[in-house]
Structure formats: C-alpha cells, structure tokens
Structure 1
Amino acid sequence: MVAPPLSRPATEVSRPESTARPGPLVSATVAILVAATCIPLGYVVWGAISVGWSRAYELVVRPRVGELLINTVSLVVVTVPLCAVIGVGVAWLVERTDLPGRTLWRPLFVAPLAIPAFVNSYAWVGVIPSLNGLWAGVLISTLSYFPFVYLPVAATLRRLDPAVEESARALGSDSAGVFFRVVLPQLRLAILGGGLLIGVHLLAEFGAFAMVRFDTFTVAIFQQFQVTFDGAAGSMLAGVLVLLCLVLLVSEAVARGTARYARIGSGAPRAAAPIPLRHYTITATAGLTALAALALGVPVWTILRWLSIGGADVWDVDEIATALGQTIGLAAAAAVLTTVLAFPVAWVAVRSHGVLARAVEGANYITSSLPGIVTALALVTVAIHFARPLYQSVPLIVFAYILLFMPRALVNVRAGLAQVPPGLEEASRSLGSSPTATFFRVTLRLTAPAAAAAAAFVFVAVATELTATLLLAPTGTRTLAMLFWSFSSELDYAAAAPYALVLVVLAIPVTLVLFRQSTKVAAL
C-alpha cells in the first residue's frame, strides 16, 4: 500500500483540483464493475425480500443478532485504533530515530503479512489451547493486520521533506510537537487507508475467529449456510454486515475529506536527521523485539513444532506440489486482473468529485466486506440460473476473487494516482499526446510502484482465501488454504503444518516485493 510522497514542504491543498470526464472505455469498465459488485448485495436484498418483511424483522431483532453486533463492533472499535497506534509508533521508531538495526526492522514488520490470519490463529491455539473470545480475536487480528498501517506510514515517513520539521523545530516546537502538528497530519491518508482495509478484513474474516471460538457476523453466516442451511437467516445477518461496512466507508470518507497531496518535483534528496532516543533505546528495542516475537516468533515456532511432531509422514510431496501450482496459478491471474481493473475505478475516485465518485469507489468495499461464502453463494446462484457453463469454472472463481479483493488493489492504486499532479497529464495532452499515450507515458510510470504493491497484496490475499474457494473451486481443485483448513478443522495440526509452512514461504518473497515497491520514490 503506497502513500503519496511529499517532495516539498507540505501544505494541505483544500481547493478542488481540475476534473476531467472519463473516456468511454473507462466509463464502460467502471459501469460493468459497479454492476458486478451489486451481485452479492443483490443476493442479500433478494433473500430479505423473499422471506417477507415480517419474517425479516423477526430474524434481525433476535438476541443472537444483538450478541453478534456487539462482538463485531467491539472487535473493530478495539482492533483498528490499536493497529493504527502500533503501526504509526513502529514506523516512527524505525524511520525517524537512531534505533539500532533499522535496516533489519524495516522488512521485519512487513513479514507478518506473509502469515495468514487463520494460520496465526492456529499457531496461538497450539500454544494456548484455551484461547477464545473477544480478546483472543483482538490479539490475532492486531498481530496479523497492523502492517496494513505500518507499511504505508513508513513509506510516507521516508518520503517527507525534512525541511518542514526543521522549520517547526526552529520555531520552538519539541519532538512531540513536531510529530503531532507537522508529521501526523501528513500521515492521514496512509492511516485512514490502512484502517479502512483492516476494518473490512475484520468484517469478512472467518477462519481466524472460528478457530478461537469468537462469533462474529461472518462466523455466524458460515454456520447458517453450512450447518443449518438457513439461507434466510444468513441473508439477514449479511444485510447487517453491509450496514456496518457503510458506517466504515462513511467514517473514512468524512475523515479523508477532499484534500490532495500531489507535489511536483523529486523533492529533497537528503533524509531526515535521526532523532536520538538516548536512554529510551533499550526500551524501544525491547518493545519491538517483543512485538516481532508475538507476530512472527509464535507462528513460526508452532509450525516447526508440529512439523517435528509429525515427522516425515506428514509430507505428501505430490499433493503439496499440486496444491502449490494451483494456488500460484489462481493467485497470479487474480492479481493481474484485479490490479488492471482497479485503475479506472481509482481514476474516477481521484480525478472526479461528488457523491457519484464516492459511490463508485464505495461499492467495491461493500462487496468485499461480505463474507466470501455470501459472494460465492451469490455467484453460484447467478451461474446456475443464467450462465450454467460458468458453474464450477476457473473464470467464475477468479471473478469472485476480483470482487472480494478489489479494495486491496484500489487503496494502493488510488494512493499512487493521488500523487500524480493533473497538470502533468494536461501538459502531456497539450503537447499532442493522446489520453492513452499520456496514461502509459506519465500516469502509469508514476503509479508503477503502487500497482506492483497492489498486485502483491491481491496475490497474497488470493493464496490464503478460504471460504469462497471452498464453494466455487472447480472439481479437483485443492489449494494450500483448502488443505490446511481441512486438516486443522479435524484437529490434525501436524498434518496441517506443511501447508501452513508452504503458505508462509510462498508469501514471503511477494511480501518483500511489496515492501520494496511501497518505499520506492517515483522520479518525476
């Protein structure tokens, strides 16, 4: 996730930028994508209408729904701010202080992204079998998702021009004053984008919370569809989940505002002078070491422990190789397509203003907040009734991945486009370049790091996706996540360990690419 760099002393620009009308191709692509995102939502609405309003009311006002609402809201309200505080704090220590070993800490705190949340949950349950409830969910979620804030904040801190902070210090501000008055406002887009992404993940996560026996709306929906086959009750729960997502979207949109952070010029080449920690060095190092041990040490140790217990018998090389190949193929196809399709939506969101632009962007977040099983059931229903050849096909499951993970690409591409001043594109067109040539020569070049980060995010997400894959995968498809869940749900933790290890190893190089690309400054 790439936050827009600030290359000169940053002052927030509140006046609206010039807007441009999207071309026919962009308009058609956006219209098709918005229509596609309405399929899962339409499935939920259709389910509510089909049971009648009185029955729908009875299903929504049940005490069980109130319990799930408290659980889900509590999880989001506690976890998102906690991830923001940890992400910003770690990024500031690593990027702006004289903390020893900064080159090691930088990629180390991106590494938790390589460990799926349900693998993290599996690891902690292996260490503490009695782990359950809200605080178990908060622990697993925070350790799994704080890099969503750390990564863009660290990238932004590395790009900020130190002249602004030096000026503030010259005017009498201490380090705390400079941070809260000068630095923190410039991190707003990065924090809000990461926080929104975390919130959406919390609403849609299933495996991690099911393993620690913490019931959220997503866990309950899975139970309704898979255990009781009560589609009406599941649809009502999904409807409440959509309302929660709307609250998240509106909150983020209000906090984000309409300010832009684009700058012209490559900025100051020098880095900011590190702030001396002095006698706090030991405390800061101990805190970061503890965080790394909790986020990385526990899952790695647990996986290796179960591998040792299982021995050579748990390694089915043929099955692992087949699952690995299928996982890479699906993840790569979905990553490329999702990133490409994110460009027109991000262009409308960044270059246009008003309710329509926000609605186009928000439609993708609403769909992704729905559990994978709801999106999968919606697509199964549509395929059976209107496109039977697509049922249990690779195109259908890739389409589901696009709907589910578009926000991962959109947050990155939107941030990349936000750093491209419209004046550069206008200058290119005024010199005779067509809109297409301008896109490839100017826009795409400047947003390439963001696009690479977007593709990496989607690749990791697809490789670890579980619920939609279980329902939509063509016959014979066995991804790493499917096999891991099959063994771990049967409490055969030793047999699940090889698949957990391969999932982590598969995600590590992609996560490192994400780290490098997200901290790369595009030269203008």
Structure 2
Amino acid sequence: MVAASVVAALSLIPIGFIAYVAVSSGWDTVWSLVVRPKVGELLVNTIVLQVIAVPVAIVTSVGAAILTERTDLPGARMWSWLMVAPLAVPAFVHSYAWNSLFPHVHGLFGAVLISVLAYFPFIYLPVAAQLRRLDPALEDTAASLGLSPAAVLWRAVVPQLRLAVCGGALLFSLHILAEYGLFVLMRYDTFATAIVDQFQSSYNGPAANLLGGVLVLLCLLMLSLESLGRGHARYARVGSGAARRAGVFTLGRLRFAALLLPAALAVLALGVPAITLGRWLVGGGGAIWRLEFIGPALTQTVLLALAGAALTTLAAIPMAWLSVRSPGRLQRFLESCHYYAGALPGVIIALALVTLTVRLPIYQTAATLIFAYVLMFLPRAVVGLRASIAQAPVELERAAVSLGRRPLKAIAATTLRLAAPGAAASAALVALGIANELTGTLMLSPNGTRTLATRFWAYTAELDFASAAPYAVLMIVLSAPLVILLRLRAERISAP
C-alpha cells in the first residue's frame, strides 16, 4: 500500500501542478491567457479534427475488421496483419512520408487523413478481437426470424461491438489530442503544437501551462464521452453453452470489390511511407548513413528504453499485485491515479516536470527524462502485470508462507516468477513506446542526448528528408516486434 501510494502521488504531479499554476496565477491572468482568440482558434481546430477524424476512423476500422474477420474476403488473414502493421510506423513518420511525396496535402484534410492512417489500428484491433469472440447464437436467432445476412450483420453483430469501438475510439481520440509532430508537418495548429511552440519560443510558463490545463479538460471530456457511449448494457450470454466460432458472411459478387477497402488502407498507410523512405534512401546513398550520429542515437534510444521499461515495470508491481490480491475502494482510487497519466499528452507531463525541476540539480538530466517516461507508460505496465498476476494462484503464496518464507520472499518466489513472462511482455511494450516518443523527449532530453526520434525530427525541421530516412527506418524496425506482439496477444485472448 505504501509503495503504491507513493507511485500514485508521483503520478498526480502533472495535473496537480497545472492546478497550482492556475490558482497562483490568479483569475485575471487565467482569463487573459485562456479566453482569447488564439485559444478559441485552437479549440475549434481540435474539436473539428475530432468530430471528423473519429467517425471516419470508426467506420473505416469496423468495416475493415468485419471484412477480414467475418467474411470470405480473399486473403483475409494477410489483410488482417496488414491492418495492424501501420502501428509500426510512428505518426510523425507517416506525416513525413506524405509531406515528402505529396507536399500539397496539409491543413485539416491532411491532418484527418494522416491521423486515420496512423491510428486506425487502435480501433481495428479491439473490434477484430471482439468479432472473433461473439456468440453466434444471436446471429442464428436473427437469421431464423427471416433477416437477410446484411440485416443480421447490422442488427445483431454491429451493436455488440459498442464496447470495443468506444475503447478504441478513446485511444484514437487521446492520441490525436497528444500528437505534435504529425500536425506540425501537416501545418495544422492544435493545443499540443501551440504548447510546445510556446515553451520553445518564449519559455512562457503560465501561458503554456494554462493551455495544458485546457488540454487536460479536453482529455477528461473524451473520457466522459467514452463512458457515456459505453452505456450499461450487458453483452455476456446468460447460461452455459459450448463455445464455437461464428460463421462467415458470403460476399458473392462483392468479394473482389470488397478488397478495395483493405487494399487502399494498406497502400496509403504502408505503401506511401515505404515509397518515400525507399526513394530517399536510394537518393541519399551511403552518405546519409552517418554512423557517427546514427550509432549514438540508436544506443541512447535503446538504453533509455530499457531503463525506462525496467523502472516502469518495477513501479507498477505494487499496484498490480494489490488490484488482484486485495481489491477495495482505496485500491481502486490508487489504481485510477496510476492510469490517468496515460490519458495525458506527453507535452503536459514534460511541461510540468520542466517547470518543477528548472531550479533543481536534476534539470535536463536523464533522471527527469526517465521519470517522465515512467509517468507516460505506467498504465501499460500495470495492465500487463495485473493480467499476469491474476493467472498465478494465490494458494502458492500461502503455501510458501506456511513453509517459513517471509511474505515478500514468498511473493517473489511464486507469483512474480509465474508472472515474469507477462512482465517481460509489458516491459517490451513500454520500451517500444519510449523508443518512438517525441514530444516529451524534445522538451526534457539532456544536452547531448539524441534519440532516433529527436534526430529524425531535427533533420525534418531542416527539410533534410534524405538524412532523416535512416532514423525513420530504424524506428520502424524497433517497432515491428510491438505490432507482432499486439497481434498475437489479440489472437490468443480472443480464441474461444
């Protein structure tokens, strides 16, 4: 409880600091900095982006998931892997590729297009997994009442996807709220771009922090809308029954026409980055592979990712163990403190830590940067560890204690050993998230520290796209195992 409480208190630093800045600045300052035309413009931009991009992503993802999981689409399994593959390409690399190949694509249209292409797998993955788990009895009943296959799909299948769609749409929405690099290259102003620009140009702490407060309120609004969208309906069957796979819908004459959706997504989300990177790699030749810069950037990225993943996993252990072994109201509150930071954009966490540490000896040190990574990716570690600990029988802990082991040693010798594979998978997810993190790293990295993401960003800022290409390729190579892991875990969890 003590360890989990300490981690929860540290997780509250970003939102607590923003509240402190708002109170200490005074109402007049808050009003003058927040209620002004520029903030209104950013608010309109952000809302319009969300209103357009989220429904487009939902329709695209649900359509692709139904085609690849529940129809006789040619090559369905191959297409299902290709629908997840865009996650291996960081969002700012997507925008780099499009900006390089199609420089006229920018503004709202470019922001919506690249947001959907970069992040639609966050909706596709849970929806595809849910489709594989649906009980076909409801579909059989609907068909027996005379409904056509299209009507069965619309009235019996799609409504059961609400939870998966709402969860995936929340992830999509929060990611585009937090995104910086994508929208800078698309020349579309959002709160995240304005906060970073404000900080880098004038180091105006109150203005940037209060803009961050507005962004936090938008995050809370997204969370509330997702909770409202989920509703309170039950989706589990009542009674026993044998698990079986649902049948597939026959596309008939539409089989090959249906290929247009997954093919278009694969070409736009994977083909454009591949063509762009290939063109710049070939055009740049061997000169762009400057190992004196690439080597240190790769090394520092890997070291930061490993250190951040190890510390994040250790910090998550007490809360994960409590949530499984000793649930309660206080434990649920502490767990929500661990989770909420994952809904905050990295720029908010970085901004709070910059202002807090600017007069301390840890300012612009690796310790502050790794601490930011822990706060950003703590929810990933807690979720993975919690699932692993839940699969370890508590009787083994009790048996170890009865044989004379102290409680902590008993837990380490039984539960933690059994949960080690899940912990390793969670640490890998955290490490790969850190490897592609841009905004927090830009704001907090010590002098002389250059990761693959920041090196890539420095070259694109100078419009030196050829020199940026090797760093993009290396980030994709490091991200590929994450995509494979996500896909395999989704298949294993959804297997009947």
Normalising to structure 2: TM-score of the pair? 0.86
2:144 to 166, 170, 174: 170
Q: How far apart, in 2, do the equivalents of 1:338 and 1:265 lie?
A: 41
Deviates more, 1:476-485 or 1:362-371: 362-371
Matched residue SS, 1:519: helix
Q: How far apart, in 1, do the equivalents of 2:48 and 2:443 lie?
A: 29
- 1:516 matched to which residue of 2? 488
Q: How far apart, in 2, do the equivalents of 1:442 and 1:170 lie?
A: 48
Note the C-alpha offset of 1:144: 0.4
Asked if the contact 1:209/1:219 (under 8 Å) is kept, the reply is yes
- 1:21 matched to which residue of 2? none
2:127 to 153, 156, 174: 153
Deviates more, 1:478-487 or 1:465-474: 465-474
Asked if the contact 2:198/2:208 (under 8 Å) is kept, the reply is yes
Note the C-alpha offset of 1:509: 2.4
Asked if the contact 1:446/1:522 (under 8 Å) is kept, the reply is no
Q: Could you report, residue by residue, the CA deviation over 1:31-77 in whole angstroms, capped at 9, with x for unpaired residues? A: 22331122112222232233321111111110111100011112122
- 2:77 matched to which residue of 1? 103
- 1:195 matched to which residue of 2? 169
| Within-5 A mapping of 1:387-466 | 388=361, 390-409=362-381, 416=387, 454-466=426-438
Give the letter aligned to residue 78 of structure 2: L
Q: How far apart, in 2, do the equivalents of 1:266 and 1:392 lie?
A: 58
Q: How far apart, in 2, do the equivalents of 1:446 and 1:263 lie?
A: 30
Q: Could you report, residue by residue, the CA deviation over 1:252-288 in whole angstroms, capped at 9, with x for unpaired residues? A: 2333356787899998565332221111111111221
Asked if the contact 2:178/2:347 (under 8 Å) is kept, the reply is no
Q: Which has the higher contact order (CA 8 A, sep 6+)?
A: 1
Q: How far apart, in 2, do the equivalents of 1:512 and 1:497 lie?
A: 23
Check 1:262–1:173 CA distance in 2 against 1; reply closer, same or farther (3 A cut): closer
Asked if the contact 2:397/2:414 (under 8 Å) is kept, the reply is no
- 2:208 matched to which residue of 1? 234
Asked if the contact 1:367/1:403 (under 8 Å) is kept, the reply is yes
- 2:404 matched to which residue of 1? none
Check 1:258–1:395 CA distance in 2 against 1; reply closer, same or farther (3 A cut): farther
- 2:298 matched to which residue of 1? 324
- 2:459 matched to which residue of 1? 487
Note the C-alpha offset of 1:327: 1.4
Note the C-alpha offset of 1:507: 1.0
Asked if the contact 1:323/1:479 (under 8 Å) is kept, the reply is yes
Q: Could you report, residue by residue, the CA deviation over 1:450-507 in whole angstroms, capped at 9, with x for unpaired residues? A: x676545433321111121123223432210010001000111111111111111221
Q: How far apart, in 1, do the equivalents of 2:334 and 2:226 lie?
A: 15
Q: Could you report, residue by residue, the CA deviation over 1:126-172 in whole angstroms, capped at 9, with x for unpaired residues? A: 12213222221111110000001111221222233434433443343
Q: How far apart, in 1, do the equivalents of 2:143 and 2:51 lie?
A: 35
Note the C-alpha offset of 1:398: 2.0
Q: How far apart, in 2, do the equivalents of 1:380 and 1:347 lie?
A: 32
Matched residue SS, 1:110: helix
Asked if the contact 1:205/1:371 (under 8 Å) is kept, the reply is yes
Q: How far apart, in 2, do the equivalents of 1:445 and 1:84 lie?
A: 37
Asked if the contact 1:245/1:366 (under 8 Å) is kept, the reply is no
- 1:505 matched to which residue of 2? 477
- 1:4 matched to which residue of 2? none
Check 1:370–1:446 CA distance in 2 against 1; reply closer, same or farther (3 A cut): closer
| Within-5 A mapping of 1:47-66 | 47-66=21-40
Asked if the contact 1:159/1:521 (under 8 Å) is kept, the reply is no
- 1:467 matched to which residue of 2? 439
Check 1:352–1:138 CA distance in 2 against 1; reply closer, same or farther (3 A cut): farther
Matched residue SS, 2:437: coil
Matched residue SS, 1:274: coil
Check 1:430–1:460 CA distance in 2 against 1; reply closer, same or farther (3 A cut): closer
Matched residue SS, 2:12: helix
Q: How far apart, in 1, do the equivalents of 2:40 and 2:312 lie?
A: 35
Deviates more, 1:335-344 or 1:160-169: 335-344
Q: Could you report, residue by residue, the CA deviation over 1:89-141 in whole angstroms, capped at 9, with x for unpaired residues? A: 11111111111112211211111001011010111111221322222111111
Q: How far apart, in 2, do the equivalents of 1:503 and 1:381 lie?
A: 30
Q: Could you report, residue by residue, the CA deviation over 1:208-248 in whole angstroms, capped at 9, with x for unpaired residues? A: 10111100001011111101222221111111111111111
Q: How far apart, in 2, do the equivalents of 1:60 and 1:471 lie?
A: 22
Asked if the contact 2:130/2:494 (under 8 Å) is kept, the reply is no
Give the letter aligned to residue 127 of structure 1: L
Give the letter aligned to residue 466 of structure 2: A
Q: Does 1:84 align with 2:27?
A: no
Check 1:447–1:183 CA distance in 2 against 1; reply closer, same or farther (3 A cut): farther
2:263 to 271, 279, 289: 289
Q: Could you report, residue by residue, the CA deviation over 1:293-330 in whole angstroms, capped at 9, with x for unpaired residues? A: 01110111111111122111111124222222221232
Give the letter aligned to residue 463 of structure 2: L
* Count of matched residue positions in the alignment of Structure 1 and Structure 2: 489
